């Protein structure tokens, strides 16, 4: 029997009704498209944030807007996000056949998932996926930007950069495959502290200088694996957007940092969003 992973944060992190969600995502993308400089080629990988849309949606949309010219060619998304609720060692795949959002279902790419299952450190855990928002909040953006695509969703637990990089390598594919790392940056610093801390983290990412300190980004383990893989594949990172929740809808005394970064074989034009420090 086909099993579907149902939304866990619809109505909280993003609108729970399909028409409201579509309008929200489309509005964020429309604003992003007016600010985004197209890249000369399709990104092989993106880092995008995963908070509630009122907080991190503008930054995430800047990353997703880069996919517009290449949307028809992307048929598979390998999505990694950090575990916020369940501790485990390694990376976890679901047993479900599809993930659902109010906009519809996205099928799991079982062929690639089965290959990844054979790697040391890759487990199956629906418990890790069921409450996790770091992957779920990316799906409505993907559903509005891409044509038909399949998903390889992995929650990242206690995993070193080498393990994450080996998983990315196995799933690398060609131009049909997009690698997506879901991560916020610093948490609950003051506005000025967050700007300084996040600027340092972004500089490390742009220099492919791994490992990032765990506290610099909640998805640091996924990012570290991507930085290692990017070195091996000669990918060049480009900062697309950087801001924090104090710039959008949050209390400036206690903010969360966000950035969107693209990775391709040719550099794009660095933007930096509201800040380029």
HSE, CB side, 13 Å, CA atoms: give it for residue 216. 20
> Is 8 part of any domain?
yes
If pLDDT is split at 50, 70 and 90, which confidence band does 146 have?
A: very high
Contact 138, 152 (CB under 8 A): no
If pLDDT is split at 50, 70 and 90, which confidence band does 277 have?
A: very low
Q: Which of 38-42, 75-79, 248-252 has the highest mean pLDDT?
A: 75-79
- The Cα–Cα gap between 85 and 49 comes to 17
List Cα–Cα distances, 21 to 4, 48, 106, 175, in angstroms: 20, 19, 16, 29
**Residue 268: what pLDDT?**
65
- The tally of domains found in the chain comes to 1
Token representation of residue 111? 């062929």
**Residue 37: what pLDDT?**
87
Beta strands in the chain (DSSP E): 4-5, 45-48, 76-82, 91-93, 98-101, 104-107, 122-124, 150-156, 177-182, 187-189, 236-244, 255-264
pTM of the model: 0.95
CATH of the domain at 219: 3.40.830.10
> Is 273 part of any domain?
no
pLDDT higher than 50, residue 236: yes
> Is 252 part of any domain?
yes
Query: In which domain, by residue range, is 66 found?
Result: 4-264
If pLDDT is split at 50, 70 and 90, which confidence band does 214 have?
A: confident
> Is 158 part of any domain?
yes
- The Cα–Cα gap between 219 and 105 comes to 25
> Is 270 part of any domain?
no
Token representation of residue 106? 């996205």
**Residue 275: what pLDDT?**
45
- The Cα–Cα gap between 24 and 214 comes to 32
Evaluate the omega torsion of the peptide bond into residue 181 and state whether it is cis, within 30 degrees of 0: no
If pLDDT is split at 50, 70 and 90, which confidence band does 267 have?
A: confident
């Amino acid at each position: 029997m086909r099993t579907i992973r149902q939304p866990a944060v619809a109505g909280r992190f993003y609108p729970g009704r399909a028409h409201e969600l579509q309008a929200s995502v489309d509005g964020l993308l429309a604003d992003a498209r007016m600010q985004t400089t197209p890249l000369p080629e399709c990104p092989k990988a993106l880092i995008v944030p995963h908070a509630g849309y009122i907080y991190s949606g503008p930054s995430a949309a800047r990353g997703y807007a880069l996919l517009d010219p290449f949307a028809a060619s992307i048929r598979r998304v390998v999505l990694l996000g950090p575990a916020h609720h369940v501790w485990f060692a390694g990376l976890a795949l679901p047993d479900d056949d599809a993930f659902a959002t109010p906009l519809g279902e996205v099928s799991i790419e079982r062929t690639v998932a089965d290959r990844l299952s054979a790697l040391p450190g890759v487990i199956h855990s629906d418990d890790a996926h069921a409450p996790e928002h770091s992957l779920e909040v990316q799906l409505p953006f993907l559903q509005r930007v891409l044509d038909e695509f399949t998903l390889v969703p992995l929650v990242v637990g206690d995993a070193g950069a080498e393990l994450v990089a080996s998983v990315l390598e196995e799933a690398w594919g060609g131009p049909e495959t997009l690698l997506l790392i879901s991560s916020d940056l610093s948490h609950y610093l003051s506005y000025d502290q967050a700007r300084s801390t996040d600027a340092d983290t972004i500089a490390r990412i742009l220099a492919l200088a791994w490992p990032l300190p765990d506290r610099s980004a909640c998805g640091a383990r996924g990012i570290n694996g991507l930085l290692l893989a990017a070195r091996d594949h000669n990918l060049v990172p480009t900062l697309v957007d950087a801001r924090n929740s104090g710039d959008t809808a949050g209390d400036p005394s206690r903010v969360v940092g966000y950035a969107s970064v693209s990775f391709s074989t040719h550099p794009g034009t660095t933007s930096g969003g509201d800040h380029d420090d």
